[in-house]
Amino acid sequence: MTSAHELDGVYQVSSTTSYQGPLEMKSDGTTTIVNGQTHRRDKANCLWTSTFTIISETEVEMVSVADPSDAAPDFSLLRPDGSPSRQPVTYKTILKLARKGDKIQLSGQIEYGDNITFITMRRNGA
């Protein structure tokens, strides 16, 4: 079994979503995993705190809490019913883990309410 610190490094985060509403998605960017955890602010200043747990050679559990308390005034997260919220939201998913040398890619989908977000995180070297 591998340990979470093997995931440590700087990742480029990109996503696409099925959401078709008026709110702009601003969660993409760069994040750093340290000891299996990240703490970062996105373009809207929403705080994302995530934990990554390796569950097999090919799977990682990701639990992310998005806290918009200090985010831009026009920023909201979505409740499961699709309505805007300024309350923290927890997202959980299992990501596929792929490795090639010291490069790592985590990818998968987050289902929350009626929305599906496809997420890819790429680490280019340790």
Domain boundaries, the chain: 4-111
Percent of the chain predicted with pLDDT > 90:
48
Side chain identity at residue 49, one-letter code: T
Q: How far apart are CA 32 and CA 68, in angstroms?
A: 20
CA distances from 34 to 11, 30, 47, 52, 88 (A): 11, 13, 16, 10, 22
b/e map 64-80, b = 16+ CB within 10 Å? bebbbeebeeebbbbee
Tokens 């996105």, residue located = 42
Q: Per-residue pLDDT for 99 more than 80?
A: yes
DSSP 87: S
Find out whether 15 and 119 touch, Cβ atoms under 8 Å.
yes
The DSSP output letter for 81 is T
In the chain, % of residues over pLDDT 70: 87
> For residue 77, what pLDDT is reported?
83
> The whole model's pTM is what?
0.83
Residue that is written with structure tokens 């340990």 in the block: 3
Mean pLDDT across the stretch 21-49?
Answer: 80
